[in-house]
Amino acid sequence: MYLTKMELDTGKRETRKALISPNLLHGAIESSFPGERERRLWRIDEYQGHYYLLLLSSQVPDLTAAARQFGLDGNGPAWRTKSYDPLLARIRNHSIWQFRLTANPTKSVKSSEQNVRGTVRAHTTPNHQMQWLLERCQSHGFSIEPEGAIVVGSQWKRFYKGNNRQHPVSLLAVTFDGLLTVTDEERFRRTLQEGIGRGKAFGMGLLTVMRPVGGRYE
Protein backbone atom coordinates (compact mmCIF):
# COMPACT_ATOMS: atom_id res chain seq x y z
CA MET A 1 0.00 0.00 0.00
CA TYR A 2 1.08 3.59 -0.66
CA LEU A 3 0.13 6.91 0.89
CA THR A 4 0.38 10.00 -1.32
CA LYS A 5 0.10 13.64 -0.28
CA MET A 6 -0.37 16.60 -2.63
CA GLU A 7 -0.96 20.23 -1.65
CA LEU A 8 -3.84 21.87 -3.50
CA ASP A 9 -3.81 25.38 -4.94
CA THR A 10 -6.96 27.16 -3.77
CA GLY A 11 -6.11 30.03 -6.09
CA LYS A 12 -7.26 27.83 -8.97
CA ARG A 13 -10.95 27.93 -9.80
CA GLU A 14 -11.06 24.17 -10.43
CA THR A 15 -9.64 23.50 -6.96
CA ARG A 16 -12.26 25.67 -5.27
CA LYS A 17 -14.98 23.81 -7.16
CA ALA A 18 -13.49 20.44 -6.23
CA LEU A 19 -13.49 21.27 -2.52
CA ILE A 20 -17.30 21.20 -2.54
CA SER A 21 -17.83 18.84 -5.51
CA PRO A 22 -15.61 15.80 -4.83
CA ASN A 23 -16.65 14.05 -8.03
CA LEU A 24 -14.11 16.30 -9.78
CA LEU A 25 -11.26 14.94 -7.68
CA HIS A 26 -12.65 11.41 -7.93
CA GLY A 27 -12.31 11.51 -11.70
CA ALA A 28 -8.79 12.92 -11.54
CA ILE A 29 -7.72 10.27 -9.04
CA GLU A 30 -9.13 7.42 -11.10
CA SER A 31 -7.28 8.65 -14.19
CA SER A 32 -4.00 8.55 -12.22
CA PHE A 33 -3.87 4.74 -12.28
CA PRO A 34 -3.59 2.30 -15.18
CA GLY A 35 -5.80 -0.74 -15.63
CA GLU A 36 -9.15 -1.56 -14.10
CA ARG A 37 -10.79 0.65 -11.53
CA GLU A 38 -10.51 -0.31 -7.88
CA ARG A 39 -11.61 1.33 -4.65
CA ARG A 40 -9.07 3.85 -3.41
CA LEU A 41 -9.40 5.86 -0.22
CA TRP A 42 -8.75 9.58 -0.19
CA ARG A 43 -9.69 12.75 1.63
CA ILE A 44 -8.97 16.47 1.79
CA ASP A 45 -7.18 17.78 4.89
CA GLU A 46 -7.01 21.43 5.90
CA TYR A 47 -4.08 22.63 8.02
CA GLN A 48 -3.33 26.28 8.80
CA GLY A 49 -5.18 27.47 5.73
CA HIS A 50 -3.56 24.97 3.36
CA TYR A 51 -5.42 22.10 1.72
CA TYR A 52 -3.94 18.69 0.97
CA LEU A 53 -5.08 15.61 -0.90
CA LEU A 54 -4.29 12.36 0.93
CA LEU A 55 -4.58 9.22 -1.20
CA LEU A 56 -4.18 5.58 -0.12
CA SER A 57 -3.74 3.08 -2.93
CA SER A 58 -2.29 -0.31 -3.78
CA GLN A 59 -0.31 1.20 -6.68
CA VAL A 60 1.91 4.26 -6.97
CA PRO A 61 -0.20 6.99 -8.64
CA ASP A 62 0.84 9.31 -11.44
CA LEU A 63 -0.79 12.58 -10.41
CA THR A 64 0.69 14.65 -13.23
CA ALA A 65 -2.68 15.61 -14.69
CA ALA A 66 -4.29 16.09 -11.25
CA ALA A 67 -1.40 18.30 -10.13
CA ARG A 68 -1.74 20.41 -13.26
CA GLN A 69 -5.45 20.86 -12.59
CA PHE A 70 -5.52 21.24 -8.79
CA GLY A 71 -1.95 21.37 -7.47
CA LEU A 72 0.64 24.07 -6.83
CA ASP A 73 2.75 25.27 -9.72
CA GLY A 74 6.44 25.26 -8.88
CA ASN A 75 9.82 23.64 -9.33
CA GLY A 76 9.55 21.12 -6.50
CA PRO A 77 7.71 17.79 -6.57
CA ALA A 78 3.95 18.33 -6.73
CA TRP A 79 3.25 15.23 -4.63
CA ARG A 80 5.04 12.72 -2.44
CA THR A 81 4.37 8.99 -2.14
CA LYS A 82 5.64 6.62 0.54
CA SER A 83 5.07 3.00 1.42
CA TYR A 84 2.26 2.40 3.90
CA ASP A 85 3.47 -1.08 4.83
CA PRO A 86 5.84 0.00 7.65
CA LEU A 87 2.93 1.72 9.40
CA LEU A 88 0.71 -1.33 9.01
CA ALA A 89 3.47 -3.51 10.46
CA ARG A 90 3.60 -1.36 13.60
CA ILE A 91 -0.06 -1.88 14.47
CA ARG A 92 -0.33 -3.94 17.64
CA ASN A 93 -3.10 -4.80 20.07
CA HIS A 94 -3.41 -2.30 22.95
CA SER A 95 -1.34 0.33 21.11
CA ILE A 96 -2.67 3.89 21.31
CA TRP A 97 -2.82 6.17 18.29
CA GLN A 98 -3.96 9.67 17.51
CA PHE A 99 -6.36 9.50 14.61
CA ARG A 100 -8.20 11.53 12.03
CA LEU A 101 -11.20 10.33 10.07
CA THR A 102 -13.39 12.07 7.54
CA ALA A 103 -16.56 10.05 7.10
CA ASN A 104 -20.21 10.24 6.08
CA PRO A 105 -22.25 9.31 9.19
CA THR A 106 -25.69 8.18 8.10
CA LYS A 107 -28.83 6.49 9.36
CA SER A 108 -31.55 4.53 7.60
CA VAL A 109 -35.04 5.96 8.06
CA LYS A 110 -37.72 3.32 7.55
CA SER A 111 -40.53 3.98 5.13
CA SER A 112 -44.12 3.84 6.32
CA GLU A 113 -45.01 1.93 3.16
CA GLN A 114 -44.58 -1.82 2.97
CA ASN A 115 -41.92 -3.21 0.65
CA VAL A 116 -40.36 0.24 0.23
CA ARG A 117 -36.73 0.63 1.17
CA GLY A 118 -35.82 3.13 3.84
CA THR A 119 -34.12 6.43 3.10
CA VAL A 120 -30.47 7.00 3.98
CA ARG A 121 -30.02 10.34 5.74
CA ALA A 122 -27.05 12.10 7.27
CA HIS A 123 -26.53 12.57 10.98
CA THR A 124 -26.38 16.35 11.27
CA THR A 125 -25.58 16.96 14.95
CA PRO A 126 -22.16 16.37 16.58
CA ASN A 127 -23.67 14.13 19.28
CA HIS A 128 -25.30 11.80 16.77
CA GLN A 129 -22.22 11.89 14.54
CA MET A 130 -20.01 10.84 17.45
CA GLN A 131 -22.45 8.12 18.47
CA TRP A 132 -22.30 6.79 14.90
CA LEU A 133 -18.53 6.46 15.19
CA LEU A 134 -18.62 4.88 18.65
CA GLU A 135 -21.07 2.25 17.43
CA ARG A 136 -18.58 1.17 14.76
CA CYS A 137 -15.43 0.96 16.85
CA GLN A 138 -15.63 -2.70 17.86
CA SER A 139 -16.37 -4.01 14.37
CA HIS A 140 -13.39 -2.06 13.03
CA GLY A 141 -10.86 -3.23 15.61
CA PHE A 142 -10.47 -0.27 17.95
CA SER A 143 -12.01 1.50 20.92
CA ILE A 144 -12.41 5.15 21.92
CA GLU A 145 -12.73 6.26 25.51
CA PRO A 146 -15.58 8.60 26.51
CA GLU A 147 -14.58 12.15 25.59
CA GLY A 148 -11.65 10.66 23.69
CA ALA A 149 -12.62 12.15 20.33
CA ILE A 150 -14.35 15.22 18.94
CA VAL A 151 -15.99 16.39 15.75
CA VAL A 152 -13.73 19.10 14.37
CA GLY A 153 -15.70 20.03 11.26
CA SER A 154 -18.44 19.15 8.79
CA GLN A 155 -19.25 20.25 5.27
CA TRP A 156 -21.95 19.39 2.76
CA LYS A 157 -20.67 18.13 -0.59
CA ARG A 158 -23.11 18.58 -3.46
CA PHE A 159 -22.68 17.42 -7.04
CA TYR A 160 -24.32 15.52 -9.87
CA LYS A 161 -23.63 11.99 -11.04
CA GLY A 162 -23.92 11.18 -14.71
CA ASN A 163 -23.27 13.19 -17.82
CA ASN A 164 -26.74 14.76 -17.95
CA ARG A 165 -26.76 16.10 -14.39
CA GLN A 166 -29.81 13.97 -13.66
CA HIS A 167 -28.70 12.51 -10.34
CA PRO A 168 -28.03 15.11 -7.61
CA VAL A 169 -25.95 13.85 -4.68
CA SER A 170 -25.56 15.43 -1.23
CA LEU A 171 -23.03 14.01 1.23
CA LEU A 172 -22.13 15.40 4.64
CA ALA A 173 -18.39 15.05 5.28
CA VAL A 174 -17.64 14.97 9.02
CA THR A 175 -14.09 15.05 10.40
CA PHE A 176 -13.21 13.40 13.72
CA ASP A 177 -9.99 13.79 15.72
CA GLY A 178 -9.00 11.91 18.86
CA LEU A 179 -7.24 8.95 20.45
CA LEU A 180 -8.01 5.30 19.85
CA THR A 181 -6.78 1.99 21.21
CA VAL A 182 -6.30 -1.02 18.94
CA THR A 183 -8.37 -3.98 20.15
CA ASP A 184 -8.01 -6.31 17.14
CA GLU A 185 -4.87 -5.62 15.14
CA GLU A 186 -5.79 -7.64 12.05
CA ARG A 187 -9.22 -6.07 11.82
CA PHE A 188 -7.76 -2.61 12.41
CA ARG A 189 -5.23 -3.08 9.60
CA ARG A 190 -8.13 -3.88 7.29
CA THR A 191 -9.92 -0.76 8.50
CA LEU A 192 -6.90 1.39 7.66
CA GLN A 193 -6.84 -0.11 4.16
CA GLU A 194 -10.58 -0.33 3.48
CA GLY A 195 -12.02 2.66 5.36
CA ILE A 196 -15.22 3.27 7.31
CA GLY A 197 -18.72 4.11 6.14
CA ARG A 198 -20.27 5.37 2.91
CA GLY A 199 -19.04 7.73 0.23
CA LYS A 200 -15.55 6.31 -0.14
CA ALA A 201 -15.32 7.20 -3.81
CA PHE A 202 -15.91 10.84 -2.89
CA GLY A 203 -13.36 11.48 -0.16
CA MET A 204 -14.97 9.74 2.83
CA GLY A 205 -13.84 6.86 5.01
CA LEU A 206 -10.05 7.26 5.16
CA LEU A 207 -8.77 6.75 8.72
CA THR A 208 -5.17 7.82 9.37
CA VAL A 209 -3.14 7.44 12.56
CA MET A 210 0.04 8.75 14.15
CA ARG A 211 1.83 8.35 17.42
CA PRO A 212 0.22 10.58 20.08
CA VAL A 213 3.30 12.75 20.71
CA GLY A 214 4.92 14.82 17.99
CA GLY A 215 4.15 12.52 15.06
CA ARG A 216 2.67 13.00 11.63
CA TYR A 217 -0.44 11.33 10.32
CA GLU A 218 0.52 8.09 8.61
pLDDT higher than 90, residue 21: no
pLDDT tens digit sequence for 51-110: 999 999 999 999 999 999 999 988 778 999 999 999 999 999 999 999 999 999 998 776
Residues 172 and 94 grouped into a single domain: yes
Report which DSSP code applies to 111: P
Average of per-residue pLDDT values in the chain: 89
Is 65 inside a domain boundary? Answer: yes
Q: Distances from the Cα of 192 to the Cαs of 32, 118, 186, in angstroms?
A: 21, 29, 10
The CATH number of residue 62's host domain is: 3.30.70.1200
- Asked which of 68, 83, 98 is the last residue of a domain, the reply is 83
Q: What is the pLDDT of residues 154-195, one digit of tens each?
A: 999 888 876 666 778 889 999 999 999 999 999 999 999 999
Residue 215 domain-assigned (yes or no):
no
How many Å from the N-terminal Cα to the C-terminal Cα in the chain? 12
Same domain, 103 and 180: yes
In the chain, how many domains are there?
2
Closest CA to 206 of 192, 187, 186, 185: 192
Q: How confident is the model at residue 216, as a pLDDT?
A: 52
C-alpha span between 215 and 193 (Å, rounded): 20
Domain extent, residue 12, equals 2-83
Q: Is residue 62 part of a domain?
A: yes
- On the CB side of 11, how many CA atoms lie within 13 Å of its CA? 4
Residue 163 sits in the same domain as residue 143: yes
